[in-house]
Structure 1
Amino acid sequence: MNKNLYSYIHIPFCDQKCGYCRFASIGSTQKFQISKYVHSLVDEVRTSPLTPLLQERGIGVFVPPSPVGEGIQGGGYLKSIYFGGGTPSVLELSQIKMILDTMESKYCFDPDIEITLETTPINVTKENLQNWKKLGINRISMGVQTLSTKSLDEIGRGNKGDIIQALDLLQERGIDNISLDFIIGLPYVEKGEIKKDIEYILDAYSFIKHISVYLLEEYYNEDKIIETKYDKVTYPDDWNKLGIKDEDYLAEYREIKKFLKSRGFHSYEISNFSQPGYECKHNQAYWNHSQIVAFGLGAYGYTNGVRYRNSDSFNEYYKREKKVQELSNSEDLFLEKIMFQLRTSGIEQSLYSQLDTNKINLFIKDGYLKEENSVIKLEDKGVLVMDYILKEII
């Protein structure tokens, strides 16, 4: 087993919670509330593991390394830290430092550790960038979503000027590992507008090396079930309710993917595009089933065959309540492996015998899947209903 670790740290606070956000977050920047949370999170890092089950399963990776410099006990290093949210950039410098100092006292940082901080444009200032860089933060993930001022105003995300100012500052401060998020399907955004936004930004700011493109959550509807008969898949007349509100969204996704490829970006996961060498280590860790230690409200982790999740209730989190699921049997691990492979490089031929090949062939015939070099991959329109496809073929 690979002894290397990756870490996710959840900061649930935002200047304002966006209407489309499904993550554990609140629109609050009250100093007392944030301070209480940060101290609780730091205590969680110091005292993990926090449940008898995790302790019983021998989660030795939580033991402080000794001696320093030889990695985690038994070998291995902490390869990445990802501050997600929420909006982690609302934290004061001293709070981020406290968290990182505690992490470094607990784990051996890899010499090339990647430390990502999610931020909004309004939190990108000269002072913040300078201080973040001093703390070792070497990757910034900024939520752009769209350059439409009307849409940004509707979802409470500032305006285009804030974004341009933030990009100017990022360019000046020399942080070259930058990721930008965009969303297809926001209100008041016309067909093709997100592609134009991405094109405009890459023309003006060539230092951007990573782009994430998401479809607005409401266009997915996992509760709707497509009726499946023995020898064919029957798609309902109101297909739009299953995730494709309009073919325009699928067309835009395709055009963005094509454009990014022309600029040297490759799609290493259905929503993520990067230039070579700028893939997000945190993302890859999840999809490669690597060991992840997670801290904070609602955070998910996976270590030594145990999947665990912190409560997304503040009261329960402060009481250290976790939901623990042991992934000890081959079926659990197989399901996760198929899901991760379908999102990334495709399902390996060696796994075909354990899947419903009749359904796979039907999805290939209907243009939702494709077989390429003995690997089953998603077609672009399959991206929109991937969860349904997974349910059918497993």
Structure 2
Amino acid sequence: MSGIYIHIPFCKQACHYCDFHFSTSMKKKDEMVLALAKEIQMRKSEFKDEVVETIYFGGGTPSVLTTEEIQFLISEVYKNYKVAGNPEITLEANPDDLSKDKIIELSKSPINRLSIGIQSFFEEDLTMMNRAHNSVEAKECLEITTQYFDNISLDLIYGIPGMSNEKWKQNIETALSFGIPHISSYALTVEPKTALNKLIQTGKIAKPSDDLAQEHFSILVETLEKNDFIHYELSNFGKENYFSKNNSAYWLGKKYLGIGPSAHSYDGISRSWNVSNNTIYLKSLAENKLPNEIEILSKSDRYNEYIMTGLRTIWGVSLDRIATEFGNDYLDYLQKQAQKFIYDDLLFIENKILKPTRKGKFLTDGIASDLFYLNLEA
């Protein structure tokens, strides 16, 4: 199984917390769509032996594209790659782009999964984050979307300064009231080069609290599990048969091709990434050059990535796979490093699979970094 990710580097406005690559100017949108199509064509040899089972439009805000532009890019994938019979094709979308007409158009297109950036149903939160939509649009778009799409995910942000536990519960309950089968939820994090960081430094917004985020995370897990959601990745919850196939492939170490400025690719041995600059990207493609850098991953790099992704998921880290793929030195090191976390009831081993306990889930990334092997040669 392999996937193709297409990065759409445009947004109507900049969210205060976001550090993804995008431009708020749409002047080069038409040129960018043609360049994306060209990169899709130029890289087909990389996937000549692969079957594409997922196509994912991320960003940025992919829903700023017209349905015709989206269909054009999908058709370019079909022209140049072997595509599975019923691929998962996801479009990330913002509520303000999802008018009834746009939703109906998309429902008639090859798009069969929507990932909608709600973030919060409260007006004051959306204003603080500088989201392009309001709370009314958030609810109205879900009311309409659920009539035309079955496979829908929505994003929620927790740990927002000043958000009470009760208010957070209301956000979750509102999401559940629409019958959505998948929820992705992330703690509000402060990235260095964002407006949010400046607002915190100048005292206009309080700094997010780790303790509050942990409380909200616990409420999230408990509430969604009571409503038959499976907590299959640290930030992702899906009902049975509604896990994101695209994201699951990332976490399980499958190959993927990243198209567009700033997009990353992975083939099991190396990782590459495109330049995070629209102008340079467009110029390079016009000159028939791929504007990317490539890093060959050492054995330690691959081990560390498996630890990081494995611990975040319901599938955990297989001790047998560690031994087979990386060797007994890595296995011995992992078991030794894991002991203190097992003792503290943060990790456990079951059927030769290492996983975080309920108590350890929120701390997964920090635990994983302590299990990394930094001193082995490639």
TM-score range, shorter-chain basis? 0.7 to 0.9
Runs of 4 or more, structure 1, over 6 Å off, are none
Contact 1:182 1:194 in 2 (8 A): no
Aligned residue-pair number? 342
Which shows bigger deviation, 210-219 or 107-116? 210-219
Unaligned runs of 5+ in 2: 193-206, 285-289, 323-329, 373-378
Question: Within 2, Cα distance between the matches of 1:305 and 1:353?
Answer: 20
What is the match of residue 94 of structure 2?
120
Are positions 1:36 and 2:12 aligned together? no
- Match among 1, 6, 27 for residue 3 of structure 2: 6
Question: Within 1, Cα distance between the matches of 2:60 and 2:161?
Answer: 21
Change in 2 beyond 3 A, CA 1:191/1:61: same
Are positions 1:268 and 2:232 aligned together? yes
Are positions 1:24 and 2:14 aligned together? no
Contact 1:244 1:384 in 2 (8 A): no
Question: Within 2, Cα distance between the matches of 1:23 and 1:127?
Answer: 28
Q: Secondary structure at the match of 2:28?
A: helix
What is the match of residue 115 of structure 2?
141
What is the match of residue 330 of structure 1?
299
What is the match of residue 182 of structure 2?
210
Structure 1 position 307, deviation (Å): 1.4
Contact 2:182 2:237 in 1 (8 A): yes
Contact 1:219 1:245 in 2 (8 A): no
Q: How does 1:52-201 map to 2 (within 5 A)?
A: 60-63=45-48, 74=49, 76-157=50-131, 158-173=133-148, 175-201=149-175
Structure 1 position 375, deviation (Å): 2.7
What TM-score do you get using the length of structure 2 for normalisation?
A: 0.84
Contact 1:151 1:188 in 2 (8 A): no
Identical aligned pairs, as a percentage? 32
Structure 1 position 188, deviation (Å): 4.4
Q: Secondary structure at the match of 1:277?
A: coil
Question: Within 1, Cα distance between the matches of 2:152 and 2:105?
Answer: 16
Contact 1:307 1:325 in 2 (8 A): yes
What is the match of residue 291 of structure 2?
321
Q: How does 1:248-263 map to 2 (within 5 A)?
A: 248-263=212-227
Question: Within 2, Cα distance between the matches of 1:114 and 1:161?
Answer: 29
Question: Within 2, Cα distance between the matches of 1:354 and 1:250?
Answer: 32
1:366-386 per-residue CA deviation (whole Å, 9 max, x = no partner) reads: 343334444322245544443
Are positions 1:389 and 2:359 aligned together? no
Contact 1:250 1:380 in 2 (8 A): no
Unaligned runs of 5+ in 1: 50-59, 64-73, 221-242
What is the match of residue 204 of structure 2?
none
Question: Within 1, Cα distance between the matches of 2:153 and 2:61?
Answer: 15
Structure 1 position 40, deviation (Å): 1.1
